Amino acid sequence: MKFSIIIPAYNAQKTIADTIQSILEQKVTPEYDFEIIIIDDGSSDDTLKVCEYFLQFHKNIEVYTQANNGLTKARNQGASKAKGEILLFLDSDDMLPPNTLWHYYLVFSNYEVDFVAGLMGYYWEHSKSYSIDKNYLRGHKGFLDKSLFIPVFAYVISASTKAYKKEFLTRHNLRFLDGHHLCEDHLWTLSLLKYTQAVFLIDEVVLYYRMHANNSVSNWKNSYLEDMIAVQEGILKLQMPLDLNSYYERFLKNFDFKKFLVEQAIIGQERAKLQELVEPLQKLLEIIPTQYQQKYMPKWYAFNDHSKSGIYKTILRIRRNRKLKKTYKKLKNFFIKPLKHLLDMANGLWYRRLLKKYQCRHKFLKVLYQIFSYLPITKAKVTFAECIYEMKYLGAIKETLKDSNLIITTLNYRITLSDDIKRMYHLAKSPIILIDNYYQPLFGITTRKESLVLQCWHAGGLFKKFGCDNAVKGSKEYQYETKIHQSYSYAFVSGKKAIEGYMSAFNLKREQILPLGNIMADILINKQIDQKEAKVILGVNPHKKLIVYAPTFRDWERPDFNLHLDFQSFIEKYSDKYEFALRIHPTTKPTINQQGIHNFSLKEEWLVLNAADALITDYSSIIFTYAYFGRPIYFYPYDYPKYLSQKGFYEDYLHFVPGDIAFSEEELLKLLEHIPPISVKVQQLWQDYMGECDGNTAEKIADFIKTRMGINNA
C-alpha cells in the first residue's frame, strides 16, 4: 500500500520543515510506504529552498511549483500527481503523530472503506505543548452508521484529519473547489458524504493543527465572503439526500458565520468598510435555505430583512449591541469581577481551608441535612449524586428516566460552600437518591423515612474485601465503616452469588440487596463490536493476539503506580504473534515508560476488553466484566502475601481465580506460550457472578424507581 501525502505551501518557510519531518518519522513496515508531494503556491519567501533541502536526501519527496492560485488548486494538482492508493491532504504547518499512517494502514488493509477519519490534536506554538480534542468525533469510533454522517462530520469538517481512497475520489470526480479558501472543506466533506458507502473512525490523533498568530484565517478579507457564497452554492447543487440540520447549526450558529462574518467582518472591521459587505451578504442569505436561517441564527445577529437597507441596518445593530456589551463588560470587570473573585475565594479555597483546619465538614453537612429535612419532600424528585466516576455509570439510568415526568437533579462532586449547601438541600428534598461509590456527604447521615438511597455500585462480581469487611467487627474502624454505609436503602449487584458479600460489606439485610445487574457490564454488552474492529480502532494489528495487563491499585502506592512487570522479555519472545497493552486503575497515574507496548489506560474499558484475546491481572474486579467474552485470564499476584494481609478476599484466592497463576515473570512468560480462544472457567465465572447482566440493568433500575414512586411503567 502506498500513501500520497499532499502539502500545498505558501510562504511557509518557518513551519514546513516540521511538517515534512513529522512525515519522515512515521512508523513504516514492509506492507506500506509513502510519498510526499509538495506544491509551492508561488511563495515569495524561502519555502522552496527548505523543500529542496529535503529533496536532496529523500527520494520519496516531489516538489512542484505553480503561480499563486490558492490552496484548493494546489491540492487538486497534488492529487493529480499522486501515485499512491491512499491520499492525505495536509497544510504546511500541520504535523502528523508518529503512528498516523500505521492507523490508516490497519483500516484500509482490513476493510473496504472510502475514507477514514481520526481525532484532531493541537500544537500550541507559544507554549510548545500539545492537546487533544477528545470530543472531535463525538465519541464515535469504528464503522459509522449513515444516519450519523452529517451529525458527526458537520464538526469533523477538516480535510486534513482524514485519509481517502484515491479510486473513490476518481470514480466520483471529487475535487476541491478551485480558487476558494474559506470554508472550502465544507463542500469537500459534504461531497464525500453524498457518495460514500463506508466510513471508519479511529480513536487516535491523526493530525496536530498548529495554533499560532498566523493561522490561515485570522484576519478578514472581503474575498472570504465570495468563498462562502461559492461553497453554499456548491452545497445546494449537491442536492444532499441527508438531513443537513447539524451542518447548518454548525455553520450559522456555532462557528463559521458567527466567527468569520459576524465577529471578524462586521464587528472587527472599520465602519467605512461595512457597506462593501451588503451586496455579497445579501447574495449569501438568498442562497442559504430560509428554514435554517430562522432555526439557527440567534436573535442578536439574525438577518430578518434581506433587502440591502435591511441588511445594512442589521449590520449596524450588531455593532451597536456589541459596543454596549463591551461597555457592560468593562464595568463588570471594574466593579463586579473583584467582588466575585472574593466571593469565589470564600466559597472555595477559604471554605476548604476552614474545613481542613477544624475537620468539621461531616458535622456541617449533617446540620444542613437536618435543617433542610424540615422542608416538605418533593415527591417526583430523583437525585443523581456524582462520585469520582461522575456520570459514567449513573448516566445510563438518568437517560432511561428522562421521559418519565420526574424532576431529575444531578449533583457534582465539587467541594465549595455553595455546592455543599445545594447538595444537602437536594438530598434532603429527594425521595430517591442514586450513588455508585462511597459518597462522603451521606456518611453518618440517617436519611428521612420518605427517602431511598440506592447504591448502584460501579464494580461487578465479588472478589477482594471492601466496606465493613475490611475491618474487624466491634472495632472503631468497623463502627466508622457502618456509618459510611448506613444511609443505603438498597444495593444492586451483578449476580446472586454476590448477595452475601454485599450484605456484609454494606451491613444490609438480604432483602436490601437486589440482583439486577451491573451498569459497567451493560456498557460492554451494548457497545460490543467485532473484535477485529476493536483492535483496528486501537491501532493493534488484528492478525496478532492482544494481551492486556490490568493490575489493580495498591493503597500504599496511590496516586502513583509502580509497574512490576518488565515487558521487554515478553516482546522479545512473542512479538511475532502477540501485542501487549497496559491498562492501570483509573485512580492511579498512567505514566508508564516502557517501549513496545500500548498504554490503554485512558481508553474506554469496553473497547479495550472487546479487543483483548487474554487478560493479565492480579486482584482486579475487571475479571468479572471481561468474563463476558469467556477468553482466558492469567493472574500475576507478585505481592500476594502483602496484599492478602492488607485487603483479603471473599474466597480463597488461590482456588477461586479462573485462570493460571504466576508469581514471577518467568512463570508468566511460560504460561503465555499457548493462549486458547476460550476458557471454561472464565465462562463459569460470568454465569456465577454476573448472571443478571443482560444489557438492561439501567432499565431494570429505572423500573424499580418508577414502581417505588407509583409511576406506571407502561
* Percent helix, strand and coil across the chain, each to the nearest 5: 45, 15, 40
The H-assigned helical ranges of 58-159 are: 71-81, 100-110, 149-153
Q: Quick count: other Cβ atoms within 10 Å of Cβ 679?
A: 21
Q: Which helix (H) or strand (E) element contains residue 229?
A: helix 223-238
- What length is written for the chain? 714
| 706 found inside a domain | no
Do 458 and 545 fall within a single domain? no
| 709 found inside a domain | no
| 242 found inside a domain | no
Which CATH number fits the domain that encloses residue 427? 3.40.50.11820
Which CATH number fits the domain that encloses residue 25? 3.90.550.10
Largest interatomic CA distance in the chain? 86
- The per-residue DSSP string of 578-602 comes to EEEEE---TTS------TT-EE-TT
Nearest CA among 644, 40, 701 for reference residue 401:
701
- Which of 464, 491, 517 is a domain's end point? 517
| 638 found inside a domain | yes
| Whole-angstrom distance, CA of residue 490 vs CA of residue 701 | 11
| 269 found inside a domain | yes
| 335 found inside a domain | no
User: What is the per-residue pLDDT for 395?
Assistant: 95
Do 604 and 630 fall within a single domain? yes
Do 467 and 539 fall within a single domain? no
Which CATH number fits the domain that encloses residue 572? 3.40.50.12580
User: What is the per-residue pLDDT for 126?
Assistant: 85
Q: Quick count: other Cβ atoms within 10 Å of Cβ 56?
A: 7
- Which of 463, 489, 517 is a domain's end point? 517
Do 45 and 160 fall within a single domain? yes
Q: Quick count: other Cβ atoms within 10 Å of Cβ 557?
A: 10
Average confidence (pLDDT) per 10 residues, the chain, 714 residues = 97 96 93 96 95 94 94 96 98 96 97 97 90 87 96 95 98 95 95 97 95 66 94 96 95 94 92 94 96 95 95 95 87 86 90 91 95 96 93 94 93 95 97 96 94 96 94 94 96 97 97 96 95 96 97 81 89 96 82 83 94 97 97 97 91 97 97 97 97 97 94 66
Q: Which helix (H) or strand (E) element contains residue 681?
A: helix 680-689
| 330 found inside a domain | no
Contact 482, 462 (CB under 8 A): no
- Which of 276, 306, 323 is a domain's end point? 323
Do 484 and 528 fall within a single domain? no
User: What is the per-residue pLDDT for 367?
Assistant: 96
Do 79 and 118 fall within a single domain? yes
Do 565 and 634 fall within a single domain? yes
> 709: number of CA atoms within 13 Å, CB side?
26
User: What is the per-residue pLDDT for 588?
Assistant: 79
- Three-state secondary structure call for residue 240: coil
Nearest CA among 437, 460, 472 for reference residue 648:
472
> 268: number of CA atoms within 13 Å, CB side?
13
Give the chain's domain count.
Answer: 4
Q: Is the pTM of this model over 0.85?
A: yes
| Whole-angstrom distance, CA of residue 386 vs CA of residue 599 | 27
The tens digit of pLDDT for each residue in 487-543 reads 999 999 999 999 999 999 999 999 999 999 999 999 999 999 999 999 999 999 999
- Sheet containing strand 578-582, strands side by side: 598-599, 578-582, 545-549, 614-617, 633-635
Do 387 and 489 fall within a single domain? yes
| Whole-angstrom distance, CA of residue 39 vs CA of residue 80 | 11
Which domain range does residue 258 map to? 248-323
Nearest CA among 148, 226, 145, 159 for reference residue 191:
159
DSSP state of 377: P
| 225 found inside a domain | no
Take residue 18 and report the three cell numbers written for it.
516540521
Do 477 and 431 fall within a single domain? yes
> Cα 116 vs. chain centroid, distance in angstroms?
18
Do 620 and 541 fall within a single domain? yes
Do 404 and 536 fall within a single domain? no
Contact 189, 79 (CB under 8 A): no
Do 571 and 676 fall within a single domain? yes
